[in-house]
Structure 1
Amino acid sequence: MNLTLQLAELITGSQPSALAREKARAGVLDFVSVALPIVQGQIVDTPLSGLRKVYTARDSQTLALLLGYAGHALDFDDFHPDFRGHPSTVILPALFALARDNPQLGGEAFLDAYIIGVETAGRLGLAAGSYHYKAGYHSTVTLGTIAAAAAAARLVNVSVDQTANILGIAATRASGLRAQFGSAIKPLHAGFAAESAVIATKLALAGVEGQPAAVLEAFLISSGGGQQQPEKLVAHWAEPWRIVSPGLEFKPYPTCAGTHSAADAAFVLREEWLQTSGKPLAELADDLDSIDVSFPPGGDIAASVRCPHNGIEARFSLEYVIAAVLLRNRLSLADFGEGPLDAEIFALAKKVQRSPDATAPPDEIDPTQRFHQVTLSRKNGEMLVCRITRKQSVAKGVDQKLKLQGCLSQASQQEWSEIETLSQLTSPAALTELAKRLTSF
């Protein structure tokens, strides 16, 4: 049996657990929190107006594209370590767009399709191997297109053969490069993936047939650089569900996930400097001779921007993120929006130097073992050092209610509660209402 058909059988035949559905509900709430303020215009996003001049239709594939962009526009959406990308912002836009046209769909069927999509995303990440991302591919759109297609196929309840066809069509459309990080095209990657998933599904439902075999195998070979492990795509499926373990990681900060443990170290060092120096915060920049950040070789592959030109690029800058924490004690949406950079933060960021730790195993071997060690070198010769691992940062968790309120700051307490309730997808009308709001634009 070919790999594409094996995966199709798992997609159509497996049954998610109650725990998986619970985790999926949390994922829906996180996605709604970061996407809805862009959809409703509560947070200004100039590129979206440009997209709407180009994408003017109201069909499901167009809405999936716009919602995918909106979900990733703030770079505040969830992350999955096996996938090495952002699964929900490609999977959920495709599902919500399809659900909008199919009001008879129930909440549990929707959640199950979402769970299947995350499972496929995680499995694809493992199967693609370490070369895929390192070579310059953006997993969120390359692997995400196929994962979103798997979820869409499950949602519309097609046959195994039709599911295999949907996967194959999606795989041949999957493309996206990390070179676009720091621009509006990065979040548009998520939109491209969601759009392709819907198109692949519609083509299959219309009877358009692609090759029935060897398509996913060809995709993994062509983008795996010899590091691909195709068997991991289907082996031990749902043991456990990828949405349960390692699970979705919700972001505490609106910056690249590759900066978060460095930020956490900077928060610790800021307090230590204030206590040990006895100086006011206004003197911090002058007191420091240099700032060093070390990490496993290749650990800064996503946070690659050293000298950002705007707030969007700053999301991917270790230098700017560390400096922002030290000076402002926060990483807020306002700090990483479309506006100009903070001159004081930018000046301090110039003192940050990257020093990959050659004694640590390369990041590509196991990104979950990543750490950031930040060292503040004071002009009096004293050094303050803090090392935070990625696992420590993730273990802190995120208060989803506070995140919702922070993203939708203009909403009322009643509106926040309403969104939380709708995101549970427990009532018959909840899915229809949520899909309507997310595709209102």
Structure 2
Amino acid sequence: MSQPREQLADLIVHSTPSAEAREKARAGVLDYVSVALPIVLGEIEDKPLRSLLAVFSQQQNAQSWALLLGYAGHTLDFDDFHQQFHGHPSAVILPALFALARDCSVHQGHSLNGEHFLDAYVIGVEVAGRLGLAAGAQHYQAGFHNTATLGTIAAAAAAARFIQADVAQTAVILGIAATRASGLRAQFGSSVKPLHAGYAAETAVVATQLALAGFDGKNAHVIEAFLSSHGGGKQQPEKLTAYWAQPWRIITPGLEFKPYPTCAGTHSAADAAFELRARWLADSGKPLNQLAEDISRIVVAFPSGGDIAASVRNPATGIEARFSLEYVIAAVLLHNRLSLEDFDERPVNNEIMSLARKVIRQPDETAPRDEIDPTQRFHEVTLSRENGEVWVSRVTRKQSVAKGVDQSLKLQSCLSKSSAAEWAEIEALCQLATPAALPELAKRLTSFKTL
């Protein structure tokens, strides 16, 4: 009987994504480009990128492009999320694919076909979701960052499909990627978190290049060993291949595009705060500049363990504040927005921080623990006023996700310095509908200012 790695390799090589899956992939490409391109072009300043470019400025190759694009796509924490993966698939899969598309030495002998690229992306997301299910919730709870660990293998799967590796080569690529997969949640709130995505994409490219060069690896038990060592006894390796593509995981549960540049674990709390702010303005009878002093206490409730990602209580910078329930709730109440400039590398806003100190976390022990079913997560925000009134808003994760995102507006907000014609051109390129689209998009994404 073949092992999970060999079964997985065969499915990666021989599966044919549906037209619907490819359409979902096109939307994913647009979302990734929207958040990565402003970093590449320097439209949004990112100081840590200077350090990366100082190290990689002389290395114009697929490995360095993958690392830089992984970092660029994840640095704003505005990139997509996948519920089963419990991480950010596109920030690792697409950088590896675009880096390989840019590297002429890898795809010599076959054309850069947009649908072939999209198929590889769909395969990568499928593997990402399945790895999340197979590894189980304990992997993330133990301190690993799924985007970095599981994402390395998912990106490798996509890369193998893109370069048309055979089953044996694909198995080697997966094994090398699993050996190098790493990344810790302890780095959340720092620039190392987006670097995790860069490392994962880089490893996928390296594994692919090694396999193409004839490098070999262990033929069995590698994926099982990875899951066993990282799953805390809760791993379910059979979920790697059972009911493959029924449906494709890029369709169901699908990619979730972020409406706010903050941790996804803060979004339903933000939506509850938006509702409470609107009620305060309508019913309090007071001017907005009295909102902070009118609120005596704010309690945010959620299933026990539901704040594992949004763990920062006293952020010092906007980057740390992306992972702070307290800061996100206060920012919404005061400013009615969660914008990119609110969550950059500058120190936190003192006015927001003052209100954030009134926020108290209160896990709801009557609700099922978050790791049992993260899809049931909710945030209930209770606002206590100085006059004794108490207002409550409860928003579930499903309600927040169901609101969706206007991708055109998101592109425009991220690339605010570009023109309407440039926005339209980028959206057209992201459809990958013409022979010139993929090489042009790959070229733009790898045109970092000092490369």
Structure 1 range deviating more: 17-26 or 95-104: 95-104
AA partner of residue 23 (structure 1): K
Q: Which of 415, 428, 433 matches 1:421?
A: 428
Q: How does 1:14-33 map to 2 (within 5 A)?
A: 14-33=15-34
Unaligned stretches of 5+ residues in structure 1: none
Tell me, in whole angstroms, the C-alpha distance in 1 between the residues paired with 2:354 and 2:78.
25
Please give the secondary structure, in 1, of the residue aligned with 2:183: coil
User: Is 1:139–2:140 an aligned residue pair?
Assistant: no
Counterpart in 1 of 2:200? 193
User: Is 1:159–2:160 an aligned residue pair?
Assistant: no
Report how far residue 276 of structure 1 moved: 1.6
AA partner of residue 153 (structure 1): A
User: Is 1:229–2:227 an aligned residue pair?
Assistant: no
CA contact (8 A) 1:138 1:177 kept: yes
Cα deviation code 1:174-194 (max 9, x no counterpart): 000000000000000000000
Unaligned stretches of 5+ residues in structure 2: none
Cα deviation code 1:111-140 (max 9, x no counterpart): 000000000000000000110000000000
Q: Which of 84, 88, 94 matches 1:92?
A: 94
Q: How does 1:51-200 map to 2 (within 5 A)?
A: 51-56=52-57, 57-102=59-104, 104-200=111-207
Tell me, in whole angstroms, the C-alpha distance in 2 between the residues paired with 1:101 and 1:169.
20
Q: How does 1:281-430 map to 2 (within 5 A)?
A: 281-430=288-437
Report how far residue 109 of structure 1 moved: 0.2
Tell me, in whole angstroms, the C-alpha distance in 1 between the residues paired with 2:55 and 2:301.
43
Report how far residue 297 of structure 1 moved: 0.3
Counterpart in 1 of 2:51? 50
AA partner of residue 76 (structure 1): F
CA contact (8 A) 1:95 1:152 kept: yes
How many residues are aligned here? 441
AA partner of residue 81 (structure 1): Q
User: Is 1:12–2:19 an aligned residue pair?
Assistant: no
CA contact (8 A) 1:33 1:407 kept: yes
AA partner of residue 3 (structure 2): N
Report how far residue 343 of structure 1 moved: 1.1
Tell me, in whole angstroms, the C-alpha distance in 2 between the residues paired with 1:299 and 1:338.
26
Percent identity, please.
73
Q: Which of 259, 266, 283 matches 1:276?
A: 283
Report how far residue 436 of structure 1 moved: 0.2
AA partner of residue 83 (structure 2): P
Tell me, in whole angstroms, the C-alpha distance in 2 between the residues paired with 1:149 and 1:366.
28
TM-score with structure 2 setting the length: 0.97
Tell me, in whole angstroms, the C-alpha distance in 2 between the residues paired with 1:278 and 1:118.
50
User: Is 1:39–2:59 an aligned residue pair?
Assistant: no
AA partner of residue 332 (structure 2): V
Please give the secondary structure, in 2, of the residue aligned with 1:122: helix
